[in-house]
Structure 1
Amino acid sequence: MSTRTVRRALRATPGHVVLAVLAIIALFPIALVLVNALKDAPEVVRNPLALPEIVDWANIPEAWTYGNFGRGFINSVLLTGTTIITVLATAAPAAYVLAARKIKIAGPVMIYLMMAMTVPIQLFLFPLYAAFARLGLLSNVFAVGVVIAAINMPLAVLLLRTFFLRIPAELPEAAAMDGANTWQVLRHVLIPAVSPGMITVGIVVGLMAWNEYLISVTFLQDPTSYTATLGFLSLTGTFAVDQGVLMAGAALLIVPIIALFLAAQRRFVDGLVSGSVKG
């Protein structure tokens, strides 16, 4: 091993140590949930940090049944899918218009979007609830998905704009010279070019929609429309003293998120890196 390689490794060591510590801090609560999901209630209370003396698999089916996770996961997928599709279908054209400055008020619109991200959703709950009740949309998973999409729209537009800024101006101009209209340029030229950004925004917005609580608990009142998050929270009343079942429910809730992130982490990181140069 050359001296240069050794020096490079030594310079990188502090950064690796910091990343390792941060990884341990982030993974420890998840590991604690998974470990305690396999214990009975007395063992969890006695020592929540210890490994299970006897693995208790009964917590998982019990949490699945009483939390109605079967239906909850279906509703969560429908809500999350509606949110992602709505956000990507509307944020991509808006981001392109702002990045290319197709409108004269692009600057004020950017300021408006940044200000909109700071407005708490609690200000709109009462008028939204009144509108939902009048239109008969309470407990409608798809309608709630559209509301969550609207909440995340400013962030999605601002993120996608950075990806459109990286595209050379000559690319859409060449397509336009070949006779393509604006919609064709966006669909066949620009969208494929910013696909890493679309994936990144989809993952970010999808995680927010999957974990959404305030909007869901306000508008999804019928138990048949409960998402997995609301199903887990329903366990807190039935199994308030059975921490093992509660941890099993939490494990059922977070395992799909971890699996999704592990499957898409490379595309997610590539998207973040490719969109971090221009802003």
Structure 2
Amino acid sequence: MKNESNNGAGIYKKAQRKPKKLGNSPVLWFIPLVLVLLLVFVYPIIEIIRFSFTDAGLIDRDYTYTLKSYFSLFTSPGFFNMLFVTGFFVFFSVTFQMMLGLAVALLVDQGMKRRLHGTVILRTAVLTAWAIPGVIIGIIWTMLYNESNAGVLNYILSFVGLDSGIAFLSDPINSLISVTFANVWRGTAFSMIMIYAGLQTISKDVIEATLVDGANAVQRLFKVIIPILSPVLFINLIVVTVETFNTFDMVMALTGGGPGRSTEVIALSIYNSIFRQFELGQGAATAVVLLLINTLMTVIYFKAIEKNQAVN
């Protein structure tokens, strides 16, 4: 019996020592993914950084390596205006997206718990805004903001005494507010989905305990619900901020950056520099600025996840 057990153990050890075939290794399955990542993400980033240190253009193929693109970008009178416009657009878009997303998520959550009619319609209406492509949203809001008598919003405002209408897109300040409002309408759905998912994780016992203690709705919201949702809210904040910084299609379809450059955000400035002014070097330099902002937000995102995991 001992000899048989020893022989069995020897055969098992020999089987363990046999080299694994390449087909059984997970490395082979990761090769297509790695190739796609290199071609679609890594290579374009390297090329953008390389072109940012050149004076390349789309018309002339000859270029030299220089810091002229960065110098021209940072000394341009429109650079700080672009940062201000982007900051205004991102700050108010993210703030109202999260506030409205929280409000809609609470309404949907209470409606589902109480089985109110119309809850599904409300949720579907909000999600529809998120599903529509940005270019289509820009066209829709262009028709709504039409400053003639055919404009939907100005037609509605005429019933409350504003017969002259509002210059939604021809006034620099109004156009920036109008673009931000349209983006809030577009992005509220994502915040609603994230927060609604977080609300489903709150234990009923916690809510019942606050009711027993006599807490009203406002106290439950600010002292119980929001603290519990804080990890979800923070992750939502980072994701929405990065997405808003990269918003391009809706602004291009709605205003094209105008009037003047009053609504030209960073992502749209990259497009204008490369495809309208044919300045590949300066457009790449602007793209590097946006890349640094996205990298910073991504680092904050992962740090927040690590901190949350450490606490849990």
Q: TM-score, normalised by structure 2?
A: 0.69
Corresponding residue for 2:107? Answer: 97
In our comparison, the structure showing a higher alpha carbon Rg is 2
What SS does structure 2 have at the residue aligned with 1:134?
coil
Residue 209 (structure 2) pairs with residue 199 (structure 1) = no
Could you tell which deviates more after superposition, 160-169 or 209-218? 209-218
Residue 41 (structure 2) pairs with residue 31 (structure 1) = no
Corresponding residue for 1:72? Answer: 82
Which of residues 164, 171, 175 in structure 1 aligns to 2:210? 175
Task: Tell me how far apart the structure 1 counterparts of residues 177 and 44 of structure 2 sit (CA, whole Å).
Answer: 32
Q: Alpha-carbon deviation of 1:189?
A: 1.0
Which of residues 195, 211, 229 in structure 1 aligns to 2:267? 229
Residue 297 (structure 2) pairs with residue 260 (structure 1) = yes
Task: Tell me how far apart the structure 1 counterparts of residues 33 and 77 of structure 2 sit (CA, whole Å).
Answer: 36
Is contact 1:76–1:210 with CA below 8 Å preserved after alignment?
Answer: yes
Corresponding residue for 2:144? Answer: 127
User: C-alpha root-mean-square deviation of aligned residues, in Å?
Assistant: 3.4
Task: Tell me how far apart the structure 2 counterparts of residues 27 and 165 of structure 1 sit (CA, whole Å).
Answer: 38
Structure 1 residues 119-159: Cα deviation after superposition (integer angstroms, max 9, x where no partner): 44133321134348933443333442222111111222122
Task: Tell me how far apart the structure 1 counterparts of residues 306 and 86 of structure 2 sit (CA, whole Å).
Answer: 25
Q: Alpha-carbon deviation of 1:15?
A: 6.9
Q: Alpha-carbon deviation of 1:248?
A: 1.7
Structure 1 residues 139-192: Cα deviation after superposition (integer angstroms, max 9, x where no partner): 333442222111111222122211111111111221122121112211221112
Is contact 2:52–2:288 with CA below 8 Å preserved after alignment?
Answer: yes
Structure 1 residues 90-140: Cα deviation after superposition (integer angstroms, max 9, x where no partner): 111221232343551333333333334334413332113434893344333
Q: Give the alignment of 1:80-119 within 5 angstroms.
A: 80-100=90-110, 101-102=112-113, 104-105=116-117, 106-119=119-132
Is contact 2:141–2:182 with CA below 8 Å preserved after alignment?
Answer: no
Residue 41 (structure 2) pairs with residue 41 (structure 1) = no
- Structure 1, unmatched stretches of 5+, are 48-53, 272-279
Residue 187 (structure 2) pairs with residue 155 (structure 1) = no
Q: Which amino acid aligns with 2:289?
A: L
Is contact 1:213–1:230 with CA below 8 Å preserved after alignment?
Answer: yes
Is contact 1:34–1:251 with CA below 8 Å preserved after alignment?
Answer: yes
Which of residues 53, 70, 73 in structure 2 aligns to 1:60? 70
Higher-RCO chain (CA-CA 8 Å, sequence separation at least 6):
1
Q: Alpha-carbon deviation of 1:74?
A: 1.6
Corresponding residue for 2:8? Answer: none
Could you tell which deviates more after superposition, 193-202 or 114-123? 114-123
Identical-pair percentage: 14
Could you tell which deviates more after superposition, 76-85 or 208-217? 208-217
Is contact 2:274–2:280 with CA below 8 Å preserved after alignment?
Answer: no
Inter-CA distance 135–38: structure 2 relative to 1 (3 Å threshold) = same
Could you tell which deviates more after superposition, 188-197 or 199-208? 199-208
Q: Which amino acid aligns with 1:85?
A: T
Inter-CA distance 268–154: structure 2 relative to 1 (3 Å threshold) = farther
